[in-house]
Structure 1
Amino acid sequence: MKQYFIILCVFVSSLTYSQNVITDSNTYSAQELIEDILIDSNCITDVVVTNAVGGNFNGPDKSYGYFNANGSSFPFQEGIVLSTGRLINVQGPNTSLSDDDANGWGGDEDLEYALNESNTINATILEFNFRAVADQISFRYLFASEEYQEGNSNTCQYSDLFGFLIRKETETIYDNIALVPGTTTPVKVTTVHSGIPGACQPINEAYFGGWNYSNAPINFNGQTAVLTATANVIPNETYHVKLVIADEQNYRYDSAVFLEAGSFQLSTNLGPDLLLANNSALCPNETILLDASQPGTNTYRWFKNGVEIPLETNPTYLVTDAGTYNVEVVIDGTCFSYGEVVVEMAANPTVFNTTLSSCDYNLDGFTNYNLFDAETDVTNNNNALTLENFFFSEAEAISNTNPIPTPTNFDNTAINQIVYARVTNANGCISVAEVTLTFANNPIVFPLYPGCDDDTNDGITSFDLDAMEAFVLSNNNVPNTATITFYGSQSDLENQTNPLSGTYENTDSSYFDTLYVQITDNGICYAYASIYLTVNPSPELISDEDMVYCLNLFPETILLEAGILYGNPIDFNYQWQLNGTDLLESTEQISVNEVGTYTVTVTNSDGCSNTRTITVLPSNLATIQDILITEASDNNSITIVVTGEGDYEYSIDNGYFQDSNIFTNVSAGYHTIHIQDKNECGTISADVSVLGFPKFFTPNGDGYNDFWNPVGLDYMEASVTVNIFNRYGKLLKELSAFGSGWDGTFKGELLPTDDYWFVITFSNGKEYRGHFTLKR
């Protein structure tokens, strides 16, 4: 082992100008860093560095080398450091981002394989072989990273990787020993931190050193606590170690791992710490034998809480109480190996004896139990305790032998039988509680539970079981925290089959029925009882109906009736509503003059009700909007256009009423139209004239058809002119629209049989033209 006292003294003296960690990437070779700085022990031999890889920054700086605390608060005074960036950027204070890269700086497949990750770059690697005379080696380290970012969710997602990989020289598969203590979890930013509010919870926080601010002695945002890496080895066997750190995914945000100088040393494996936090602490009256045996001619000294235990020089020591235990092993009189284990003591669970009740349906003292229903009372609802099983004796519960095979379906074999509950805590400590089995005997009597029949009054109706449950809970003898279950028969109750829910319809028309109720409280049977159902008749009413109110008769009223079919109306109560609004009417009949939906609720002396709906619809006289006439044609027609709330029918000249508002083949002349409301709200009439022209006339003096004159002219139309022409357009006669007509003469002379022409002109300019025949 080489020594460099002069160089080191000069170097250290140059570090006194600041209070930050400083680094040196040039003074020590890789061999010297491992053999003289990290190990520095004659008991670890054949140390040979086989590989050193780092970033090429085209200058003297490297990504690995020596560091010194330089009087700062950094927990290691000196050691070696491996980084994913320039070593110069490791030095404090934490005032800049270490974010380095270098050409051709690759990753490491062994690291990726060991940590089950991928895509590493910028890997810094130191590999070496060694042999040790003990069966365990260990060293202390600390991981720091720029990817620790306080309050930033990236801390929950991203982390550079590092590993301390070890294997036998003759093997190829590495074990990673850079693990969270007591786990197989690699140490990373994402596995050791104090949590990011709103992003991720703390994880392994006990091993997080803290966030670094601008006055930190290193240039990284956060760091772990001081951790120990431990590996079991075969004495005097050659092992290969690969110390490696790498960026993951990209080069951004560098990280570093610091290894304490001289901490790579022999160690004695005393086993894992037995801690309350890890649920591995010893239970009362439990012991553990610590074994520090090492090959060779050795001596042993044991310590408890830093004080040597007198006369304890054997390779084993029996621990009976809590403490920090250390062993010092001198191997072959020259090499020292140290081991330590922390032993904590856990208390036995606090449990409580209790009584478990169940329903004894046939009152013979024997019934069925779910023994786990007693768990809440036995553990006092302590979720940190586990009720493992039940036993017939306390001894069997303690030894965990012959558990009751069906504890959830257990039939007691003796009255007031006692079974024993075995309870454990997270550390495996045991307590036993007695559970006395009894049965519920809380007699409860319910009054008749009434229901109301439906419209048919056949003695069968539906009962709302939710309302019935409230009825049961209202009984003063029933706990208000109870759970209620209904059954349709005693057999179903005893067999716990076919529980009822929702609604229940009684099965016959006797107006009576029985339900069976089980009452449990906090999962424990409290009582069972019968509920006797009675079905009371409901008022029977006539069917819903529609009525008509004639708006034209307002404020006259119509009479609405509740419509009771059976019974004296004075024996019922009434409530009337119009469109959902209470009318404050309480009589069997009411008078109304408003349309809408009326409901009447009729209630008898048993409190049973029935409801009838009367819809009052509007009707009214018709209002004529228009009369459309097709006249002076071969098919005269009249169309009546009306509005109104009624349902109308129509007749002409006192004929039969029809639904259609159109009359066809109407003769020319004057007519009377009648419009009648089918709901008997009245009839209105209108006079209508239809214009027509005779096709011929026979002026022969027989008193029949002796004159030609238009028919259907509205008598209000006073300015109508009627002119008659012969076929040559000669005006023969100008008639008065309301005179007797033309007698077929011109200037006193009879005109011959022929066709003659007419033009009728109205005051609005409308004209009718046509011709007719004069026959002699």
Structure 2
Amino acid sequence: MRKLLLLFALIFPLGVYSQVTVTSANGQNVEELLNEHFLGGGVVISNARFNGQAVINSNAIGTFTNADTTAPNVGSPAGIVMVTGDCMDASAGQSLGTVSTNASPASDGDGVSPALALTLRGQGNTQAMNDVAVLQFDFIPSGEYVSFKYVFASEEYPSFVCSSYNDIFGFFISGPYDENGNPVDVGHTPYQFRNIAVIPGSTDPVSINTVNGGNSYGSASPCILTNTQYFRTNTNNNCKMNGYTIELETEEVFVVPCYKYKLELAICDVFDHIYNSAVFLSANSFRVDELSLSRPEPGIEGGETDDFVKGCDHYDVTMTINRPANENETHNLEFAGDAVEGIDYRLTDLNGNPVGQTLNFVEGESSATVRIEFLSSPDDVEGERKTLLVITEYVNDCAKRDTVTLNMVAPAPFTHTLYRQMEDNTMELDGQVVYCNDVLPVNETLIMDAQGGVGDVTYEWSYGGSTTGTNTFVVDNPMEVFVEATDACGRKLYDTVEFKINTATTTASVDRAYICEGDIVTLSCPEAVEYVWTSTPEDSLLATNNNVREPQAQPKQNTTYTVEITDEFTCKATASVSVNVVPSLKAELFLTPTRTTTTNTTVRFEDRTVGSFSREWDFGDGNTSEALSGYNVYPTGDTGTYEVRLIAYNQADCPDTAYGIVQIVPEFAIWLPKAFTPGSDDVNATFGPSFSIEKEYELVIYSRNGGKIFQSTPEVKRWDGKYEGGDYVPNGVYIYDLMYRDGENRLQRKTGTITVILDKQE
């Protein structure tokens, strides 16, 4: 029997310290227990046994929780606990003076844990193995390294440090094996009961003699007193064990993915059944690296269905690794499905900045997030659903790849129609409403009908205060009313209605304000919607076309015409115009002189028409004038007869015409010498008239006693001073009688005397 060292038997109150709570796992399936309370991902287990049983039939194993892991408490928060006796010995209670319980059913002997027995016997220890607790299972890793966290605790602390009576435990790995359990050569030295419960940074196994409070109570070897940083003394009855290691992590050992390995976790009392020990296996700590993705909760992001709405929703995908991240650690996402990046979705950080498919983990953190924004596209078809598969990166063929399926749907276009509520119906608006100024103020109701919105649509009006699609308010001045509609997707619609106050205006005009009797005029006004023309006094022609913009009228006397228009806003206005009927006139002109010569061609003209308002003169020589009176100069040197025309107009431009004649005659002259010298050589050798204009004439010469001496003929026109017989007449005075036509071709007669002075006689 091991000597009992009874130090004291005081019972300490539990106080208010955090306590380890243990629940027996008796009757549970071992594999389920491991999956729920020990595995952390990346491994698949099989053939799980506790003390050789697939279903637990022992009080030596249970689960635990521990709310406070700070010193001096147990450092593991939850998991599986194995005890060399009853698992409840690991729960909260008095740590000193505790009487240990035995395992039930008994589990003694080397055969319960061959690996632990091999270790104990390898140390030269031949003492009995009692209350053996061994957890065994096969596992296939998806990564290259495995480890887990644990706490070793014992009632043998501190009295048996460095003694030969220590309880023993170990975590033993063996493998690799193929799927049938046969050893395989995969390029590294296979493991055979390799103990991975070693002190960090060394190959020394964790035990009471290697991890303790630094005080020795025996002479056994090895005896290591320098690992106190890994040890805690139980000072507050957090559990019934006197001392325990901090939460340690096993050696991280290399494994080949996709091959089977065996793990044997064992602890036992040595020599006797008292001073129990325990190992706390930290929950979810047995793992290799495994990535997982967050999943959206149905109906939250996408509204009434599980679909995300394109152009509206986003989803923040969080990738989680089952350990704290290392420095500069990154992992990639892969995407599949019929959704196209850049068209149907894009990747951003949580601030909206574009990112790629690589997630950067912060050292010490276990998750990183990327935002998937679902994009709308002009090519979207309403209701069309697309699928995006988000997949963790490929590691190896047996590594689990988590996949999240995200469905997105193209929403209906978010559109609207703005209506105006009328007395008995509604009317679609085009942006403005116009009121005639004589109807204000009025109550106005606008209705914004939004279609295709996702979820509830909210409205905000700039005037009137309504928060629904219907808004009623008073219009008494020009104003603008704005409305904004927003759906649950954040899509917005905007519209504006401008209320204008209109005063209709118009003018009336006529193509001629003064007309002649019987004339037809055209009335006119600016463009409008409706026209009604009236006249004072009545105009029978107007009555046939008084509903047009430019009617014709035929006043018989001075008449006033009035138009009433209705504009595009149904506002009315009137305007008037007058037409004066002007009496006819009789054109009368005055010319002086009407007959003049080529040397004096200036003729005075005057319009003597009674009531003339304007006129047009045509003087027949190419000259014209509009003057009331004046002078016209005809061409000098030319004779002719010119017809002068006067068109006189009254105030209505009604014309009358008068005509006159102007004659321009030659300036006529005749020369007759007083004497001539027949037979001389000068120009004065014959006698006859000389005209300024060549004219026909008849010349007769008489003697003083009346005898006819010479009469001109067409062949002989001038007298040469001879008798008809051929002799010259004597010097002296003779009588001539000249018949001729003047410049106006009138027959003239001239008589006189001519003196003959002969140079010689024949």
TM-score (norm 1): 0.31
Q: Which has the larger helix fraction?
A: 1
Q: Which has the larger radius of gyration?
A: 2
The answer to which structure, 1 or 2, has the higher relative contact order (CA under 8 A, 6+ apart) is 2
TM-score (norm 2): 0.32
